[in-house]
């Protein structure tokens, strides 16, 4: 039984996501992606007009699963908002301290596409980061933070910084240090609210 | 008058630095670098055994100038350590808020080489980041910070995070927000020391 169109598209995106993440955007060829997906190049180009469109689809496919993962780390940590932020970074430190982890796919794609402003994948990546920031601000507000938006802005800089430094030094101590700073931001906001 | 060997090497590194930074590590070819440097490929390979070695030389060539730039931003800001840290981020926000700026070359290279652990350029990049962190810890200690090492660790995560988020959103508000968090780290250390 032949795959239907949606299933074929999904197989291509899954193959692209794996190769783009493991090898890099430019290093992974459309040929290799078609081969990994088990489709012809013609079929691939039926679903995606260009490699650029496929790169954007890769990041879009990682948007919700990434948000879900962080939301789970936050929600499953017991305690206050401060505890939950610290827990999120502790889980991130564990998840990134493996050979398989090769950085934040969104940031690495932005790095590779730095010379092509307006690229659809840059827009997809920026939209994901904004959604993540909005989710975090909501989650902090829900936990009673007084200045959730400002805290979320600081925390996402710390989280992207932790991902970047982790890729450079492969030392989870930086991620945990970032988590302490992030937790103190929430704590400060809480202290300010209590005054 | 023919260039001597050191001058030729320097010209190649300068051309490589420009192309690697502007186009990316994989996108910039050895052919294009040789052409930009005005040397033959044979001459280029006389000085560098491989493109990988040239990528490492590119980052090594940016090590000291980058440190000098940040040291100048720190030193030239009047006031306390807190003011100087805030000033450093304010200068960074200005420097990055241009079309020409394409991210931190060290982080972008780490992102592109994420699938080649042990690459000489990854070592050069990590060494630079460690030197930067050691310089910052010394500078903070010199300004009277009580826990300069821990503060420096938090601040470099914020600075790399600011560079990463700036590349995604092209919005200097994130860099300034990171600067406020960084300044508060120094302020907290100072407050703790005064108790």
ipTM of the complex: 0.94
Is residue A38 domain-resident?
A: yes
d(CA B112, CA A26): 9
Residue A194 pLDDT greater than 70, yes or no:
no
Residue of B nearest to A124 (CA): B168
d(CA B33, CA B54): 10
Domain of residue B9: give its range: 1-48
Is residue B55 domain-resident?
A: no
**pLDDT band for position B192 (cuts 50, 70, 90):** low
Write the CATH number for A136. 1.10.357.10
Tens digits of residue pLDDT in A11-58: 999 999 999 999 999 999 999 999 999 999 999 999 999 999 999 999
Residue A183 shares a structural domain with residue A121:
yes
* Selected residue with higher pLDDT from B103 and A4: B103
The CA-CA-CA angle for residues A143, A144, A148, to 5°, reads: 90
Is residue A40 domain-resident?
A: yes
CA dihedral B101, B107, B111, B116 (to 10 degrees): 140
Which one of A22, A130, A153 has the shortest CB-CB distance to B177?
Answer: A153
Alpha-carbon gap: B1 to the closest alpha carbon of chain A (Å):
37
Residue A82 shares a structural domain with residue A121:
yes
Which has the closest alpha carbon to B180: B162, B166, B164, B194? B162
Residue A12 shares a structural domain with residue A92:
no
Per-residue pLDDT at B2: 53
Alpha-carbon gap: B80 to the closest alpha carbon of chain A (Å):
21
Which has the closest alpha carbon to A25: A6, A50, A1? A50
Which has the closest alpha carbon to B28: B54, B63, B7? B54
Per-residue pLDDT at A187: 82
Is residue A56 domain-resident?
A: no
Per-residue pLDDT at A1: 44
Residue B67 shares a structural domain with residue B163:
yes
Residue of A nearest to B186 (CA): A181
Residue B163 shares a structural domain with residue B134:
yes
Residue A2 pLDDT greater than 60, yes or no:
no
Report the 10 Å Cβ neighbour count for A14.
15
Residue A183 pLDDT greater than 80, yes or no:
yes
Residue A39 shares a structural domain with residue A90:
no
- The rounded Cα B165 to chain-centroid distance in angstroms is 15
Is residue A119 domain-resident?
A: yes
Residue B165 shares a structural domain with residue B73:
yes
Cβ proximity of B103 and B97 under 8 Å: no
Q: Which helix (H) or strand (E) holds A150?
A: helix A148-169
Residue A66 shares a structural domain with residue A14:
no
Per-residue pLDDT at B195: 56
Residue B184 pLDDT greater than 80, yes or no:
yes
d(CA B84, CA B89): 9
Asked whether the beta carbons of residue B106 and residue A168 sit closer than 8 angstroms, the reply is: yes
Q: Among B24, B48, B72, where does a domain finish?
A: B48
Residue B1 pLDDT greater than 70, yes or no:
no
* Selected residue with higher pLDDT from B191 and B132: B132
Residue B86 shares a structural domain with residue B160:
yes
Asked whether the beta carbons of residue A129 and residue B168 sit closer than 8 angstroms, the reply is: yes
d(CA B10, CA B8): 5
Is residue B36 domain-resident?
A: yes
Asked whether the beta carbons of residue B27 and residue A26 sit closer than 8 angstroms, the reply is: yes
pLDDT (mean) for B132-142: 97
Tens digits of residue pLDDT in A76-95: 999 999 999 999 999 999 99
pLDDT (mean) for B175-190: 89
Is residue A26 domain-resident?
A: yes
Residue B33 shares a structural domain with residue B74:
no
Q: Give whole-number Cα distances, A138 to A50, A83, A126, A134, A148, in Å.
A: 36, 16, 18, 6, 7
CB contacts of A169 in chain B (<8 Å) are 126, 129-130
d(CA A19, CA A33): 7
* Selected residue with higher pLDDT from A142 and B192: A142
Tens digits of residue pLDDT in B59-108: 999 999 999 999 999 999 999 999 999 999 999 999 999 999 999 999 99
pLDDT (mean) for A176-189: 90
Question: Which residue, among A105, A155, A168, would best test binding to B if mutated, counting the most B CBs under 10 Å from its CB?
Answer: A168
d(CA B143, CA B127): 24
pLDDT (mean) for B179-185: 95
Which has the closest alpha carbon to A12: A52, A54, A75? A54
Alpha-carbon gap: A41 to the closest alpha carbon of chain B (Å):
23
Residue of A nearest to B160 (CA): A161
Asked whether the beta carbons of residue A112 and residue B24 sit closer than 8 angstroms, the reply is: yes
The whole-chain average pLDDT of chain A stands at 94
The CA-CA-CA angle for residues A104, A110, A111, to 5°, reads: 90
Asked whether the beta carbons of residue B27 and residue A115 sit closer than 8 angstroms, the reply is: yes
- Read off the tokens for B84: 């100087």
Asked whether the beta carbons of residue B167 and residue A99 sit closer than 8 angstroms, the reply is: no
Residue B23 shares a structural domain with residue B71:
no
pLDDT (mean) for B120-128: 98
Residue of A nearest to B113 (CA): A24
Residue B6 shares a structural domain with residue B92:
no
**pLDDT band for position B190 (cuts 50, 70, 90):** low
CB contacts of A166 in chain B (<8 Å) are none
What's the per-residue H, E or C state across A23-70?
HCCCCCCHHHHHHHHCCCHHHHHHHCCCHHHHHHHHHHHHHHHHHHHH
Report field, pTM of the whole predicted structure over 0.80: yes
Asked whether the beta carbons of residue B174 and residue A157 sit closer than 8 angstroms, the reply is: yes
d(CA B112, CA B20): 11
Asked whether the beta carbons of residue A110 and residue B158 sit closer than 8 angstroms, the reply is: no
pLDDT (mean) for A145-162: 95
Write the CATH number for A21. 1.10.10.60
If one counts the domains in chain A, the total is 2
Is residue A137 domain-resident?
A: yes
């Amino acid at each position: 039984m032949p795959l239907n169109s949606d299933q074929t598209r999904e197989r291509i995106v899954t193959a692209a996501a794996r190769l783009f993440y493991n090898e890099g955007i430019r290093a992974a060829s459309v040929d290799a992606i078609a081969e990994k997906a088990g489709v012809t190049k013609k079929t691939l180009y039926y679903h995606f007009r260009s490699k650029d469109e496929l790169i954007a689809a890769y990041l879009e496919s990682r948007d919700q699963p990434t948000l879900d993962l962080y939301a789970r780390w936050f929600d499953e940590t017991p305690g206050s908002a401060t505890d939950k932020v610290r827990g999120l970074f502790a889980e991130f430190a564990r998840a990134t301290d493996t050979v398989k982890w090769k950085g934040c796919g969104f940031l690495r794609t932005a790095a590779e596409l730095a010379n092509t402003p307006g690229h659809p994948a840059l827009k997809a990546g920026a939209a994901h980061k904004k959604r993540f920031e909005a989710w975090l601000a909501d989650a902090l507000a829900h936990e009673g933070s007084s200045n959730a938006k400002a805290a979320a802005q600081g925390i996402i800089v710390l989280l992207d910084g932790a991902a970047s430094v982790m890729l450079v030094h492969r030392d989870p101590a930086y991620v945990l240090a970032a988590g302490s700073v992030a937790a103190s931001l929430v704590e400060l906001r809480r202290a300010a609210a209590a005054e």
